Chain A
């Protein structure tokens, strides 16, 4: 079984799982405890915080550990309830933890405007600018889209937000570990991350929030995370995230080059042999490991099932909890017809993907996709 679904989640890096096992076996203290057990646990949590700060270039006070990327996104939206400016500008291709969460908050007085994307999945910064109102309190645009791999024009959006003095939140879950993320350079007010997308454990998220920005806890209670996220820290998970972020920071540039090469070779081979196959997303503004393919005439759902049985793990659209594919909102937003939407698969490469594995996937796809009649004549 070969794994080609790194955008859904990643295997935990051996170095990370070894650290977590060690902590689970030896470090059980509550980081808030005064005694030695607590001190030791605290050390692991704070060391992880520093590792993450180093990897995204921020200050330790700007990191809030929590339960997931979704939670981090929800914390930011929830905070709007306490302010005067309760309007959110977001893109049509945001993750459900922004897109659906904003709708969930509508009865509580949060309004929103959805900005469309072009056919590559890029937001037009001018449209963001135009959507901003007097009562806009937040612009929320993801850095990298999970289904397409497209990277959004972060600098332009950040400039607009800076000029208009509006907070800029970015869902960075699909960015960290895949491309360099420097929160100060990006100019974001806040950003969310999840450990499991970069070879860390599931169930651990980070919210970066620029110093001085106000925040109301979504989960209130004890004074953990400076009173901004209650609940005894997931020491092993947080430590795993710290090490995963550190490893990713070290390896990201080399991996980008390696995965870009794999992706480009895969796409050119596929398109050379099956010219009808369409690649979705942006040709250059993209993370290196994600390929969104539309294959006219081929059911993505059945392809994913068949390939699963044949030993290749792919996905149709994004991974979804019910396991039942619905037409993707993201693919609709880039203008794919419902028909093509259902003929679109996502292949994502990562740290453990080898050239041989990509070749075997290519061969399997070539076997599965018939040569169109028009193509055989030439």
Chain B
């Protein structure tokens, strides 16, 4: 066997992971491609239930083609059981509790990284790699940290905060210094069969991006729960019946079926009573939030020496300067320097110092701003 460093590359069948593999091979790594089968796009009778490229036979075969052309082995790993249990069931349960989950984050931390490392260990492979747009700073070899991808439009560091630091030490992100157009260009120049595969849809397992129908089908199969209840005003006055809390997310304006002089938004979802408070935009600002389930890539004491602590409260959020206060039970509270629109429980608050990802937590509750005069 060769003395080259080995790397296990997670291949979705898309252009990003294909280029990741291509670059690693070009750089002399001994690569092995794997595609994790997480979800079925067809039911037991072979009928299409989710017209998604992700995890489809076409995607797997494209990954195989890319690997075959690069002269590296490819294997398909069946993780449907784990994904269903740890990601999909959690997704449904969270919505039924009136929260807004981010399944990609959970998939990375609870399924993908552990699975890839397990296979890498058993196959005697040092490294794992994915096609995420993020970088890893290894200037402190025992404390690697994630840096935002160089392409600010594509940066995917946000979905990686729950990955454990010790897992990062064996992770490679070959696309971190590239922009999406550069990746496409590399793919075309290398004649990769996936060069023009379309961007994947929002949530890989939800057909047509319609998560509400998905939750309805899932929860009907479970126990018929839909959390029906009332729309109320901030003063507690009932406005109308709603379709069940899983149909709504904090900050939502469309599809409420409410007409009035002033547009209203979902401000708070109360899973116990089923009440959903609707409020005008000026009342939609939050001064902070509470967090649990925290994960840090730096020592908590190092938080004091960061230049500027910025938190992102959802994917593609521009970020806001903030302060953290710790509770004795390991949870935390965040105070934004400037009130933020629509803070949804279940979403991830991810902390940065410049491009460096410091850590994150799951939002348990947003604190409505006392002086709701903005906007």
Taking the closest CB of chain B, its distance from the CB of A314, in whole angstroms, is 13
CA gap between A280 and B1 in the complex, in Å:
33
With both beta carbons as reference points, the residue of chain A lying nearest to B118 in the complex is identified as A302
CA gap between A309 and B119 in the complex, in Å:
13
- Given contacts A305-B75, A309-B32, whether A324 and B37 have CB atoms under 8 Å apart is yes
Taking the closest CB of chain A, its distance from the CB of B289, in whole angstroms, is 41
* A-B CB contact pairs (8 Å), 29 listed: A299-B122, A301-B77, A302-B119, A302-B123, A305-B73, A305-B75, A305-B119, A305-B123, A306-B122, A306-B123, A306-B124, A308-B75, A309-B32, A309-B73, A309-B123, A322-B37, A322-B57, A322-B60, A322-B76, A323-B60, A323-B64, A323-B76, A324-B37, A324-B60, A324-B76, A324-B77, A324-B78, A325-B78, A326-B78
Interface residues of A in 290-306 (CB under 8 A from B): 299, 301-302, 305-306
Taking the closest CB of chain A, its distance from the CB of B69, in whole angstroms, is 17
Chain B residues with CB under 8 A of A299: 122
Closest 9 CB pairs of A and B: A324-B76, A323-B76, A324-B78, A302-B122, A324-B37, A305-B75, A306-B123, A308-B73, A309-B73
Chain B residues with CB under 8 A of A309: 32, 73, 123
Taking the closest CB of chain A, its distance from the CB of B332, in whole angstroms, is 40
Chain A residues with CB under 8 A of B60: 322-324
Taking the closest CB of chain A, its distance from the CB of B316, in whole angstroms, is 33
Q: What is the 8 Å Cβ interface bit string for chain B, positions 104-139, against chain A (1 contact, 0 not)?
A: 000000000000000100111000000000000000
Interface residues of A in 250-305 (CB under 8 A from B): 299, 301-302, 305
Taking the closest CB of chain B, its distance from the CB of A31, in whole angstroms, is 34
Interface residues of B in 59-74 (CB under 8 A from A): 60, 64, 73
Chain A residues with CB under 8 A of B57: 322
With both beta carbons as reference points, the residue of chain A lying nearest to B119 in the complex is identified as A302
CA gap between A309 and B31 in the complex, in Å:
11
CA gap between A325 and B79 in the complex, in Å:
11
CA gap between A46 and B313 in the complex, in Å:
74
Chain B residues with CB under 8 A of A326: 78
Total contacting residues, chain A, CB less than 8 A: 13
Which B residues are closer than 8 A to A by beta carbons?
1, 32, 37, 57, 60, 64, 73, 75-78, 119, 122-124
CA gap between A305 and B37 in the complex, in Å:
16
CA gap between A87 and B373 in the complex, in Å:
76
With both beta carbons as reference points, the residue of chain B lying nearest to A302 in the complex is identified as B122
With both beta carbons as reference points, the residue of chain A lying nearest to B64 in the complex is identified as A323
Which of B73, B75, B76, B78 has the most C-beta atoms of chain A within 10 angstroms of its own C-beta?
A: B75
Across the interface, do B122 and A323 meet the contact criterion of CB distance under 8 Å?
no
Across the interface, do B123 and A323 meet the contact criterion of CB distance under 8 Å?
no
With both beta carbons as reference points, the residue of chain B lying nearest to A311 in the complex is identified as B1
Taking the closest CB of chain A, its distance from the CB of B292, in whole angstroms, is 35
Chain A residues with CB under 8 A of B124: 306
With both beta carbons as reference points, the residue of chain A lying nearest to B121 in the complex is identified as A302
Chain B residues with CB under 8 A of A324: 37, 60, 76-78
Chain B residues with CB under 8 A of A306: 122-124
Taking the closest CB of chain A, its distance from the CB of B40, in whole angstroms, is 10
Taking the closest CB of chain B, its distance from the CB of A295, in whole angstroms, is 14
With both beta carbons as reference points, the residue of chain B lying nearest to A306 in the complex is identified as B123
CA gap between A324 and B77 in the complex, in Å:
6
Q: What is the 8 Å Cβ interface bit string for chain A, positions 304-331, against chain B (1 contact, 0 not)?
A: 0110111000000000001111100000
CA gap between A323 and B64 in the complex, in Å:
10
With both beta carbons as reference points, the residue of chain B lying nearest to A304 in the complex is identified as B75
Chain B residues with CB under 8 A of A323: 60, 64, 75-76
With both beta carbons as reference points, the residue of chain B lying nearest to A103 in the complex is identified as B45
